[in-house]
Chains A and B, each alone.
Chain A
Amino acid sequence: MKKLGFLISCLVLQLAGQAQRHALSLDAGYLYVYSPAFDKIIQYYNFSRPWQSKEQALLQNGVRGALAYSYQFNRRWAGATAFDFMYFPSVGRNETQRISIHPKAYTLGLQCYYSPFDSTSSFKRLRFSAGVFAGLLSTHLREDKAPLWLDEDEEEKYKSNTFTYSFQLQMDYRFWQTSKHATDAFVKFGFWPQVEIDDFAETFIGTNIYNLENEGVMWTFSLGLRHSLRF
């Protein structure tokens, strides 16, 4: 693993060294998440608590941000090293209790960009990319205690840190640029083959008598804006 990391770092430095132009960019956007395994756990949680006036939300809406260093080799090809952050909380607000789940994914990855259209084409501003990311999924489970309850308010019940990785496909549309700055809109699809939250069903529902899986695949879809500073 260490050797692989070293080789990748060398490759990135080599590619960056050959680049004609460099850029530092910042992404921000909306994130949509779909994970059938975690949906099922939350569905069972909600089903098992019919007395709650408000159901626990699924882990489906969130925000995404990224910081990337990119290097343009030629007009069509570019590469980037990026730090990607996702946060997709779920909150169940009830009169006497509020439970919130806070999954955050911190991943580092490599992306390869391709601009297929000529400068004369109507779609010259479109660019596509594919990338591989790996990192940490950190999940916190918090509970606000009822006023009549004994324990402290806002107790952190649970924390899980697990390794995760993903494959990302992205489409950018550059709608504004100067010699130094550029702004793109992007749409990004991600596939996460293995996402795990340790003992999630046991902790969240309080039991795993239902034999629910604490891991599974996850799909992400995000759209947002990127601003780049070119040098």
Chain B
Amino acid sequence: MKRRDFLLTSTALFLSPVFLTACRKRNLNSKNFKSTKVIVIGAGAAGMYCAQLLHKAGCEVIILEAGAQIGGRIRKLEGFSDFPIELGAEEIHGERSAYYNLVKSTNTAIADGDTKDFIYLDNALQDLEVVANDADVKAAEAFLDTLEEGNYKGGDVDAEGYISANGFSTRVRPYLNARIGNEHGTSNDRISLQGVNIENELWTAGNTNALLKGGAHIDVLQKACADVWAKVQLNAVVNQINYAGGEVEVKTTANQTFTAAKVVVTVPIPLLKTNSLGFNPSLPSAKSEAIQKIGMGAGMKVILKFSQRFWDASTGSIFGTGLVPEFWSTGTGRSANNNCLTAFVHGKNAEQLVAMGNAAMLSKILSELDAMFGNAVATSSLTDHYIMNWQNETFVKGTYSYPSVGEGNAREVLAAPLDNKLYFAGEATHTKGHFASIHGAMETGLRAVKEILESLEK
């Protein structure tokens, strides 16, 4: 080697980091994905986020939404109070997620989480912290902590059976129903404790539970998916998906036909259970069986507006003993003129209330509040109400999926792509414990994008 060669080599060595740094990409490469057509069925959080990312990766995206609005189970009610009320997804679960990050990036304020919870115990409404040393409450809280920490070892049984068999007092069983079954989208007789335990074990998003203060989830989602928002074709009810050929053909009830190389299905589980999308050929039996195993059913929110606030100003939740397992103060931390309560009901309790008809249901809910607060204060001060019964929504039919007994690996089976043509997303397809959340739904949308991009790279 000559001195000159050595100097040249040395210069190249010193410049190589600049070259190497310039070569490495901070983002996924999208050069291969241009001109790939993808149909996304469903314009909820999973579908919209998936469509936005596919668009960003260069794909041509068609978004078909059966309903008349974008958002799926994210919906806001405006004009009812002095802040937008969430009719669907409400809390931000965890602080380590893309959604949390999105909320922060949009500068949307969140409500102060410093609230007090109350429990209706022995015919009196009591501060949950004050009765924390009550033996029955203590036992219930200890069991909830065990579940929260992912340390439950009692097998794949329903919560109600386990709670009865293990001698939990009837005084706290409604509370346990509120905190386990109702919170997870059903009632204790239908939920798998093992499933809840696995969900908690896999949870990685952190423990912050926050509420939006300066806006609504749908506004945040719109900001994130602005590029594809106008592309959504509303009222496009898909009733046939033919995926036998080279391309996938999607037909709607309005006789529209769309074709694409890939289709992402993000519809809620009840629609898959009834095969309303008309898969042709039929989904493999393993996938169909998996779909049937995942639970999702009756659930609703009844928003109640009163002429006065008769509950403590710092109230978070009120756990009752009647058909409404949990009321919460809708505007705590969000509004200074907060006179709204939300009745949050799932599972068999929701079915019972719905069976009564709207008028009787409202009367029953108010009577439960009257019993807790006395003097028929709820009934006498009600000024308005709004019933959001998600089971009545034709293209949703429920609130969110829950872990049912015998579910096993059903979510993994459901989430697996079919023939590199059909991809599945939506909160119920989350395989790592983050189902029933906005960020979980979004993550499944990204997973579908990842699967599509990887299949295109091959």
Contact = CB atoms under 8 A, between A and B. Distances in A.
A56 B53 CA distance: 17
Nearest to B101: A49
B28 A206 contact: no
B101 A209 contact: no
A113 interface: no
B68 interface: no
A32 interface: yes
B314 to A, nearest CB: 15
A202 interface: yes
B110 A150 contact: yes
Interface in B188-233: 204-206, 208, 210, 214, 223-224
B246 interface: no
Contact of B24 (A58, A148, A209, A210): A58
A147 B443 CA distance: 26
11 contacts: A30-B17, A34-B20, A39-B24, A43-B26, A49-B105, A97-B101, A148-B107, A206-B97, A206-B100, A206-B101, A221-B16
Interface string A36-65: 000100111011111110011110110000
Contact of B447 (A95, A146, A203, A210): A210
A47 B21 contact: no
B21 A32 contact: yes
Question: Is chain A's interface secondary structure helix, strand, loop, or mixed overall?
Answer: loop
B94 interface: yes
A223 interface: yes
A149 interface: yes
A43 B25 CA distance: 8
Nearest to A219: B20
Given A32-B17, A199-B204, A47 B105 contact: no
Given A61-B17, A96-B105, A150-B113, A206 B24 contact: no
Q: Which of A46, A58, A149 has the largest number of chain B CB atoms within 10 A?
A: A149
Interface in B416-454: 430-432, 434, 439-440, 443-444, 446-447, 450
Contacts of A150: 110, 112-113, 208, 210
Given A32-B20, A146-B107, A149-B110, A210 B101 contact: no
B96 A203 contact: yes
B27 interface: yes
Contacts of A46: 26-28
B109 interface: yes
Contacts of B98: 48-49, 205-206
A207 B97 contact: yes
B443 A123 contact: no
Given A151-B95, A205-B98, A206-B97, A47 B28 contact: yes
Contacts, number: 128
A94 interface: yes
A188 B20 CA distance: 16
Contacts of A202: 204
Task: Kindly list the 3 A-B residue pairs having the minimum CB-CB distance in the complex, ordered from nearest.
Answer: A206-B97, A206-B96, A202-B204
A213 to B, nearest CB: 14
A48 B439 CA distance: 11
Interface in A115-164: 122-123, 146, 148-151, 157
Q: Which of B26, B224, B443, B446 has the largest number of chain A CB atoms within 10 A?
A: B26
B389 interface: no
B3 interface: yes
A191 to B, nearest CB: 16
Nearest to B100: A206
B105 A97 contact: yes
A57 B27 CA distance: 10
Nearest to A201: B204
A37 to B, nearest CB: 14
A123 B107 CA distance: 61
A72 interface: no
B24 A60 contact: yes
Contacts of B96: 157, 203, 205-206
Given A202-B204, A221-B17, A209 B25 contact: no
Contacts of A207: 97, 204-205, 432, 434, 439-440, 443
Nearest to A204: B96
B177 interface: no
A149 B97 CA distance: 15
Contact of A187 (B13, B56, B205): B13
B204 A208 contact: yes
B28 to A, nearest CB: 5
B1 interface: yes
Interface string A192-228: 0000000100110111111000000000010100000
B104 interface: yes
Nearest to B206: A206
A44 B96 CA distance: 14
B77 interface: no
A52 B27 CA distance: 12
Q: Which of A30, A47, A49 has the largest number of chain B CB atoms within 10 A?
A: A47
B450 A210 contact: yes
A55 B101 CA distance: 13
Given A46-B27, A51-B102, A151-B208, 17 more contacts: A34-B20, A44-B28, A46-B28, A48-B446, A51-B223, A57-B26, A58-B26, A122-B3, A150-B208, A157-B96, A187-B13, A206-B94, A206-B439, A207-B97, A207-B432, A207-B440, A208-B204
Given A42-B26, A146-B104, A209 B444 contact: yes
